Chain A
């Protein structure tokens, strides 16, 4: 088992100018670890991080898009695995942080905790590359390769439930976060409408 913050620190070391889409509890912790304007946390509704990431991956094909999903979030939008595999964005890396709980909603267990195989879901959906990690050393060693690989890439990060981060929902949904992101990606935009 790993700790989420340790995994995120490793990702932060290697992100370069990647756009990172983070969902809820992961977003709070990620923003505290790596407060970049290229963070996208405005996913609006639970489960929608992966779909936002797909839209960004299609809209910005020259940029690496990394999504930090939650296990409860992904269960709410499992079909997005198939949609992403079908769209096959080469620039998308999809991590799901599996701690087995709805951490932001009282720590209740997810359905199928310990039995659900997220990597298996992604593999069968058709992701190009799929990995599962329960040790930090192996994850850290493979991370550069994962971020450089032709996507869609999936990585399941098996972590312990940790101490709750500060839940600042006002920050998460604030117009300022979206405007900061919009400005930050402006240099990456090519062409006009359409």
Chain B
């Protein structure tokens, strides 16, 4: 199988394979068509529509106390807006906040850290400075790392961020 731009269905299957049944989300055009729209129709997933992304940090944290796995789906702008909640709840408290983040404005042919777009270029260094685990999803083969990353986040009780670098279709 060729290594194509990942399909939304592949990412959703990986999320489900990790035992996630709750997704807290704000729409992001990178993941809108391929991930959020089908998730909203998925009977296996409870979608919690947010007004602001840091709500989702707390919702995912609270669900973890209840033995429920969750993913926070958002754009990198929302990630930046949520850094204090992630710092407090994810890092200071050491809780498994699993984030799938669309990189709006990232060029498909270059790494995020080399983007012309300042808002994209700073994301990985910011996460590294905070000590937050991260990995990129650029191709279908990268999707294989998603379910194990979620498993690891819950096993080690720490946040993880999957950075989606290309617009995802169904």
List residues of A whose CB falls within 8 A of some B CB.
42-45, 47-48, 51-56, 58-60, 77, 79-80, 82-83, 86-87, 173, 175, 178, 181-182, 185, 189, 191-194
With both chains docked as a complex, state the minimum distance between the C-beta of B24 and any C-beta of chain A, in angstroms: 8
A59 near B62 with CB under 8 A, answer yes
Q: Is B92 an interface residue (CB 8 A)?
A: yes
> Is the beta-carbon distance between B55 and A79 smaller than 8 angstroms?
yes
Closest 8 CB pairs of A and B: A55-B62, A79-B51, A59-B66, A44-B88, A51-B58, A193-B19, A194-B21, A44-B89
Given the known interface contacts A45-B85, A56-B65, the answer about A51 and B55 at a Cβ–Cβ threshold of 8 Å is: yes
Is A194 in contact with B19, judged by CB distance below 8 angstroms?
yes
Q: Mark B71-108, 1 if CB is under 8 A from A, else 0.
A: 00000000000001101110011000000000000000
Known A-B contacts A45-B85, A173-B92; the reply to A77 vs B68 at CB < 8 A is no
| Minimum Cβ distance to chain A for residue B71 (Å) | 11
Q: Hey, which chain B residues are within 8 Å of A178, CB to CB?
A: 65, 93
Say whether A44 contacts B66, CB under 8 Å: no
Beyond A55-B59, A178-B93, 13 extra complex contacts between A and B, CB < 8 Å: A48-B58, A51-B59, A58-B22, A59-B63, A79-B55, A83-B51, A87-B48, A182-B65, A185-B66, A192-B19, A192-B67, A194-B21, A194-B68
**Among B19, B21, B51, B58, contact of A44 (Cβ-Cβ < 8 Å):** B58
Is the beta-carbon distance between B48 and A48 smaller than 8 angstroms?
no
Q: How far is the CA of A43 from the CA of B22 in the complex (A)?
A: 20
Write out, one digit per residue, whether chain B residues 39-59 have a CB within 8 A of any chain A CB (1) or not (0): 000000010111110111111
Residues of A within 8 A of B59 (CB): 51-52, 54-55, 58
- Expressed in whole angstroms, the Cα–Cα distance for A193 and B66 within the complex equals 9
For residue A69, give the distance in angstroms from its CB to the closest CB of chain B. 13
Report A192 CB to chain B, min CB distance, Å. Answer: 7
Chain B residues with Cβ below 8 Å from A182 are 65
